[in-house]
Chains A and B, each alone.
Chain A
Amino acid sequence: MPKIIIRNNLRRLRFDRGEMTQQQLADQAGVTRQTIVAIEKGNYSPSLELAFRIALVFEVSLQDVFYIELAD
């Protein structure tokens, strides 16, 4: 079974929202800035609930924020 790597478009989405800061996103999603940093770097895969909350902040679908890459 191929390994699933979860990637995200957080950096681009923040940029598209007028350079929204990581702290602003964290406040709106209800997490710490460190968690947003970790997600953005790909060091942490958020829970489904948090993933949806982040998508709600940007008013986009979940797939517009997170996507997968398959690795062998």
Chain B
Amino acid sequence: MSYQERRALVNVLSTVLITAGYTAYMMQRYPQTDPYSIEVFRFWGGYFLILIPVTIIARIIITIIFSILNTIATREGEPEITDERDRLIELKSLRASLYVVSIGLVAAIGSLAFDAPPAVMFALLVAAGIAGDIVSEVLQFFFYRRGF
């Protein structure tokens, strides 16, 4: 298994763990009020605002730990260059990821049209973001493994 394949798998795992852990932590603070109250909107606003730096910091830490462990285990460092194949794989997986996020965005907005509470819309937005990220990394893994 190449460095890029291992990195994609680690990214999938970290996405799931970070989001699940953060969501579990934040849901303890979910306001127990009217589902249409301003408190609910404030909660979700804070959820997204804090999620971004939490994800960035956690990803940096996980990447550093992965690089160290990978170097120790395989004695092969991170590739020093990003070539045309890397860029093509990144573009292909990003495109698929954007499709997934777009569908999630439409579903989230559509939920409001069907009288779903705002929490459903926000939950769908989070799910779309996670699904897009996972699709991107899984596709990268398969493109690196099987070619395209």
List the interface of chain A (C-beta within 8 A of B).
Answer: 30-35, 37-38, 41-44, 46-47, 49-50
Contact = CB atoms under 8 A, between A and B. Distances in A.
A-B pairs, top 7 by smallest CB distance, nearest first, are A43-B147, A31-B83, A35-B85, A32-B79, A34-B2, A44-B147, A35-B83
A44 B134 CA distance: 23
A31 B147 contact: no
Contacts of B146: 43
Contacts of B41: none
A25 B86 CA distance: 17
A35 B83 CA distance: 8
For this complex, into which size category does the number of interface residues on chain B fall? Answer: 10 to 19
A31 B84 contact: yes
Contacts of A30: 81, 83
B144 interface: yes
Contacts of B86: 32, 35
Interface in B1-32: 2-4
18 contacts: A30-B81, A30-B83, A31-B81, A31-B83, A31-B85, A32-B81, A32-B85, A33-B79, A34-B2, A34-B79, A35-B85, A35-B86, A41-B147, A43-B146, A43-B147, A44-B147, A49-B84, A50-B84
B29 to A, nearest CB: 44
A47 B88 CA distance: 11
Nearest to B85: A35
- Which of B84, B85, B148 is the most central at the interface, judged by chain A CB atoms within 10 Å of its CB? B85
Given A35-B83, A38-B85, A43-B148, 6 more contacts: A31-B83, A34-B4, A35-B85, A43-B147, A50-B83, A50-B84
A44 B83 contact: no
